[in-house]
């Protein structure tokens, strides 16, 4: 393989593992993904099983590696199961945001000028809303549920993606290969989806990865306020909320979920940053060979 | 022996992990440069020219292994980080690179950057260094040097930036100037000025020059000796006793009009594409500040089986015209008739079908292919019915192996990419092919092969070809007629067989940039030392050349002369032309 293929997604699969820029992020995020997938197998016990009176608020020990909570439930088991909620919310809400943002951005970047103006003004209006208050308002007006959290996070998170995609599409549409495609009589739809969109993929993937971290943070925040995941579903945010009153007597209650959130966000940011450096031909290695 | 620099058996390779691992770039290069000698090092891209210069300077990239001897004034240089080599880098050799934009720091004024170099080497005071910087700029013929010293790089033109880099290189008063493709990023006329400047500075200072280029035509203009590089070693040395000889690569192309093959049977076919009074540009055109549009009233006839050349320097409107003709840009005024129909009135699916008849071959083959599409898919998409057999046939037609269909563009060489682009154009079965500088991004070898492929394709398919180039050698070899464009208008249109000495001043100045394309009768222009002046002030409303032209008369400033037929088939937009010759 020639040098300078760093911008290509499809042909450099063999080197993903060995790329030092990606390794830390990949290890953390893949590890967490496995943890969430295999939660029932990995977790030492049932996250909802109540312990005996003696087991309540027990410090970390041999029988409960990370201690127990007020109801005697095993913190490690709850932590492992909680990863499912965090990752699910993170990924689904980002997926919603990215799909919506890409559609809006591509339409604005490739469409006629009035479409661009309309869509970008709409985006500006959405950006002007204080996101967190919008979420709080919507969630508190209805019954809190995970589905609602995911939808709301998705519907309020697409604007950044839309702007990114539009900017990139505006520059791509001036490239010669797009002119060549138009010259061959392809329809605007075909040009946008067949030629511009595939070249946007690296940008979109990086943006999505970097946003997963912040979506996970947002979910924890909502759950901490009691507006996210509801019992018996375990979530890291609600675990912190429950441990908040026992920072001295039961420091393990809030500390471990807090660390888990921090590690997850760090993992996705590292992965996103690594992807950006790998997929952006101007970052890191040398550019094209000709 | 009093050599300045002697390189023997220099080998460079990249062992260890990494994309280039195990490749040997230089495989035993020998080079001797005497004091004050000017050597041109010629070779295709990727032959190791640039790596050789970096080895000379002791600036090889990390991980490179080198063996061989490099002697500077008889003293062997061993350790790239050692004191000897550092001293040579600082005071003995200076380097000027291709891209003046990236070689200059964008946030420092150019005067400060030159002064910094002066201070590092001579340790003079700030104000003294600044004075030296200004005088160096003056030596490089920068107008208003003390004002220009306060400019930032982005405020200067490409040619001016290259002068600044030369000034900075001269700050340490080197014995050897290494110029690595210093004019490649510039257009022809500026290129020639920079070359003349390098020549003059070299003579004045008695400095040696190692001039690296892929463009063999430049060699006789700057060098007394020519070294050719291929496959990591230097294969030939020639002394150039007589200046300005044609090189072999050119001979294969230039078919003199006397050759029988060139003249085609008479009887003009009717044009397949006919443009009248085209006015085009981006954004508002014909504003008060700039009275002329990028393309301002151009007529074009493209005839099946014929090639029309369009010449002009960068910025003259060639590419805007090409985009307007192919309807990638809607003209502001004028008409385009395609096969008898009004091309500009088409909309929707009718446009999608009809525009396939006009295909465009772009300058940069890397940018004109979708990087995420394999060649086969790009071609079958272009055919329209996703027929892989037809796609493979197209590859064969442009001289490529069918196996290339599964490759991505980045896995191809520049020449191969340009062939694929051509195949994609042919897939649409066009009547008109517009080739916008199709070879300027390629090295000499692929350039000639692509041009002959273009010509064969045109003849076999009966295409009407519009070839845009600033290289008159290429245009004269391929085209039947050449239109010369400047400032948005056609200033001259002539048949190539007609070798008149009566030329528009702008045509002559462009031809003078590549002296080989001037015939004997036209050399008066060079000999008389006439040339275009640098324009100061806004572009005029009259002749676009006003303010620059040695033949200028008062009326040129305010009225645009008409395009007049001065001889049969020869149109000229200059009433004064033809009187300057002896």
pLDDT tens-digit map of B234-258: 877 766 543 332 333 333 333 333 3
Looking at residue B257, what is its pLDDT? 34
The residues, ordered by sequence, that sit 6+ positions from B579 with a Cβ below 8 Å of its Cβ are: B551
- Per cent of chain B over pLDDT 90 is 12
Q: Where does the pLDDT of residue B266 fall: very low under 50, low under 70, confident under 90, or very high at 90 and above?
A: very low
| Nearest chain B Cα distance for residue A2, angstroms | 7
The CA–CA distances, whole Å, from B179 to B105, B114, B176, B294 equal 19, 17, 10, 34
Alpha-helical regions (H) of A61-196: 75-110, 113-128, 131-141, 146-155, 159-172, 176-183, 188-190
Cβ atoms of A235 and A84 within 8 Å: the answer is no
The ipTM (two decimal places) reads 0.70
A with B: how many residue pairs have Cβ under 8 Å apart?
90
Q: Report how far residue A206's alpha carbon sits from residue B410's, in angstroms, rounded to the nearest whole number.
A: 22
As a whole number, the mean pLDDT across chain B is 79
Average pLDDT over residues A222-247: 83
pLDDT tens-digit map of A183-204: 888 888 889 998 999 889 888 9
Q: Report how far residue A121's alpha carbon sits from residue A127's, in angstroms, rounded to the nearest whole number.
A: 10
> What's the topology of domain A88-289?
MetI-like fold (1.10.3720)
Looking at residue B29, what is its pLDDT? 84
Whether residue A57 has pLDDT greater than 80: no
Q: Where does the pLDDT of residue B150 fall: very low under 50, low under 70, confident under 90, or very high at 90 and above?
A: confident
Instruction: Tell me, yes or no, if A13 comes closer than 8 A to chain B by beta carbon.
Output: no
pLDDT tens-digit map of A6-40: 344 444 444 666 777 788 888 999 999 998 888 88
The verdict on pTM exceeding 0.90 is no
Q: Report how far residue B532's alpha carbon sits from residue B507's, in angstroms, rounded to the nearest whole number.
A: 11
Q: Which H or E run includes B299?
A: strand B295-302
Q: Where does the pLDDT of residue A284 fall: very low under 50, low under 70, confident under 90, or very high at 90 and above?
A: very low
The CA–CA distances, whole Å, from B467 to A89, A216, B250, B331, B475 equal 57, 57, 18, 20, 7
Q: Which H or E run includes B10?
A: strand B5-13
Residues of B in Cβ contact (< 8 Å) with A280: none
Instruction: Tell me, yes or no, if A185 comes closer than 8 A to chain B by beta carbon.
Output: yes
Looking at residue B258, what is its pLDDT? 32
- Cα angle B85, B210, B61 (rounded to 5 degrees) comes to 45
Average pLDDT over residues B445-465: 86
Cβ atoms of B336 and B274 within 8 Å: the answer is yes
Average pLDDT over residues B554-581: 77
Residue in B87, B211, B93, B99 with CA at minimum distance from that of residue B164: B99
**Which position has the higher pLDDT, B379 or B574?**
B379
Q: Report how far residue B60's alpha carbon sits from residue B80's, in angstroms, rounded to the nearest whole number.
A: 9
Whether residue A102 has pLDDT greater than 90: yes
**Which position has the higher pLDDT, A132 or B130?**
B130
Instruction: Tell me, yes or no, if A269 comes closer than 8 A to chain B by beta carbon.
Output: no
Q: For residue A222, what are its two tokens?
A: 């909502």
What 3-state class would DSSP assign to A288?
Answer: coil
Q: Report how far residue A260's alpha carbon sits from residue B478's, in angstroms, rounded to the nearest whole number.
A: 70
Q: For residue B214, what are its two tokens?
A: 């892929």
Top mean pLDDT of A43-52, B196-205, B419-428 is at B419-428
Whether residue B381 has pLDDT greater than 80: yes
> Considering only residues 321 to 360 of chain B, which have any Cβ-Cβ distance to chain A shorter than 8 Å?
323, 326, 328, 351-353, 355-356, 358-360
What 3-state class would DSSP assign to B56?
Answer: helix
Domain ranges in chain A? 88-289
Cβ separation A181–B370 shorter than 8 A = yes
Looking at residue B247, what is its pLDDT? 33
Cβ atoms of B183 and B193 within 8 Å: the answer is no
Residue in A91, A167, A161, A151 with CA at minimum distance from that of residue A123: A161
Order across the sheet with B5-13: list the strands.
B24-33, B5-13, B65-72, B75-77
Nearest to B355 among A7, A11, A185 (CB): A185
Residue in B332, B189, B212, B343 with CA at minimum distance from that of residue B274: B343
Nearest to A180 among B352, B360, B371 (CB): B360
Q: DSSP assignment, residue B560?
A: P
| CA-based R_g, chain A, Å | 22
Question: Strand runs (DSSP E) across B318-366, as ranges?
Answer: 333-338, 341-342, 358-361
Place of tokens 């908040």: A244
């Amino acid at each position: 393989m020639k040098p300078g293929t760093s911008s290509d997604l499809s042909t450099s699969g063999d080197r993903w593992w060995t790329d030092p820029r990606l390794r830390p992020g990949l290890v953390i995020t893949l590890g967490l993904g496995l943890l969430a997938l295999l939660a029932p197998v990995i977790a030492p016990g049932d996250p909802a099983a109540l312990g005996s009176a003696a087991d309540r608020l027990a410090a970390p020990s041999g029988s409960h590696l990370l201690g127990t909570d007020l109801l005697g439930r095993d913190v490690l088991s709850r932590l492992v199961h909680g990863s499912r909620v965090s990752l699910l919310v993170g990924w689904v809400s980002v997926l919603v945001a990215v799909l919506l943002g890409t559609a809006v951005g591509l339409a604005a970047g490739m469409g006629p000028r009035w479409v661009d103006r309309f869509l970008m003004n709409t985006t500006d209006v959405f950006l002007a809303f204080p996101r967190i208050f919008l979420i709080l308002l919507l969630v508190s007006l209805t019954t809190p549920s995970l589905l609602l959290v995911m939808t709301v996070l998705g519907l309020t998170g697409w604007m950044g993606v839309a702007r990114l995609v539009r900017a990139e599409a505006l520059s791509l549409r001036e490239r010669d290969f797009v002119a060549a495609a138009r010259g061959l009589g392809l329809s605007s739809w075909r040009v946008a989806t067949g030629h511009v969109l595939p070249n946007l993929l690296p940008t979109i993937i990086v943006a999505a990865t970097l946003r997963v971290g912040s979506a996970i943070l947002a979910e924890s925040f909502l759950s901490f306020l009691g507006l996210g995941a509801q019992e018996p579903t375990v979530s890291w945010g609600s675990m912190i909320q429950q441990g908040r009153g026992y920072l001295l007597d039961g420091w393990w209650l809030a500390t471990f979920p807090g660390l888990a959130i921090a590690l997850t966000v760090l993992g996705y940011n590292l992965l996103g940053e690594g992807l950006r450096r790998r997929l952006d031909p101007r970052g890191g290695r040398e550019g094209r060979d000709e | 022996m009093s050599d300045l620099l002697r390189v023997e058996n220099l080998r460079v390779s990249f062992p260890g992990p990494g994309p280039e691992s195990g490749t040997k770039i230089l495989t035993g290069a020998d080079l001797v440069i005497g004091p004050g000698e000017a050597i041109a090092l010629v070779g295709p891209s990727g032959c190791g020219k640039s790596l050789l210069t970096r080895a000379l300077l002791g600036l090889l990239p990390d991980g490179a292994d080198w063996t061989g001897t490099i002697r500077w004034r008889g003293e062997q240089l061993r350790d790239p980080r050692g004191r000897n080599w550092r001293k040579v880098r600082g005071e003995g050799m200076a380097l000027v690179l291709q891209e003046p934009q990236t070689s200059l720091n964008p946030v420092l004024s150019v005067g400060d950057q030159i002064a910094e170099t002066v201070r590092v080497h001579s340790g003079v005071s700030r104000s003294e260094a600044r004075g030296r910087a200004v005088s160096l700029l003056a030596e490089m013929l920068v107008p208003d040097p003390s004002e220009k010293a306060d400019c930032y790089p982005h405020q200067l033109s490409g040619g001016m930036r290259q002068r600044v880099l030369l000034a900075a290189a001269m700050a340490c008063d080197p014995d050897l100037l290494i110029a690595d493709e210093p004019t490649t990023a510039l257009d022809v006329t500026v290129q020639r000025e920079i070359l003349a400047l390098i020549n003059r500075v070299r003579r004045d200072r008695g400095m040696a020059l190692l001039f690296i280029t892929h463009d063999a035509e430049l060699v006789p203009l700057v060098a007394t000796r020519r070294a050719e590089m291929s496959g990591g070693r230097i294969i030939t040395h020639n002394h150039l006793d007589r200046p300005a000889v044609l090189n072999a690569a050119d001979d294969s192309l230039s078919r003199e009009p006397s050759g029988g093959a060139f003249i085609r049977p008479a009887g003009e076919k009717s044009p397949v594409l006919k443009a009248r009074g085209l006015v085009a540009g981006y954004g508002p055109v014909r504003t008060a500040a700039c009275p002329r549009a990028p393309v301002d009233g151009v007529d074009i006839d493209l005839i099946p089986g014929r090639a029309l050349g369009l010449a002009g320097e960068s910025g003259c409107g060639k590419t805007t015209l090409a985009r307007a003709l192919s309807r990638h840009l809607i003209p502001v005024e004028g008409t385009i008739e395609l096969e008898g129909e009004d091309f500009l009135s088409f909309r929707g699916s009718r446009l999608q079908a009809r525009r396939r008849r006009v295909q465009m071959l772009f300058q940069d083959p890397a940018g004109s292919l979708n990087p995420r599409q394999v060649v086969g898919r790009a071609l079958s998409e272009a055919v329209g019915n996703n027929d892989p057999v037809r796609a493979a046939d197209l590859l064969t037609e442009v001289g490529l192996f069918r196996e290339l269909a599964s490759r991505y563009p980045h896995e191809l060489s520049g020449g191969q990419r340009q062939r694929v682009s051509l195949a994609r154009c042919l897939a649409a079965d066009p009547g008109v092919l517009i080739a916008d500088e199709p070879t300027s991004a390629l090295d000499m070898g692929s350039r000639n092969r692509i041009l002959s492929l273009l010509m064969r394709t045109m003849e076999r398919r009966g295409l009407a070809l519009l070839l845009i180039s600033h290289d008159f050698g290429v245009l004269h070899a391929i085209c039947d007629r050449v239109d010369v464009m400047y400032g948005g208008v056609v200033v001259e249109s002539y048949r190539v067989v007609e070798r008149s000495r009566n030329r528009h001043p702008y045509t002559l100045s462009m031809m003078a940039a590549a002296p080989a394309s001037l015939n004997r009768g036209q050399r008066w222009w060079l000999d008389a030392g006439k040339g275009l002046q640098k324009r100061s002030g806004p572009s005029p409303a009259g002749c676009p050349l006003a303010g620059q032209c040695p033949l200028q008369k008062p009326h040129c400033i305010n009225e645009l002369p008409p395009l007049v037929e001065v001889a049969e088939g020869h149109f000229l937009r200059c009433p004064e032309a033809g009187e300057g010759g002896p």
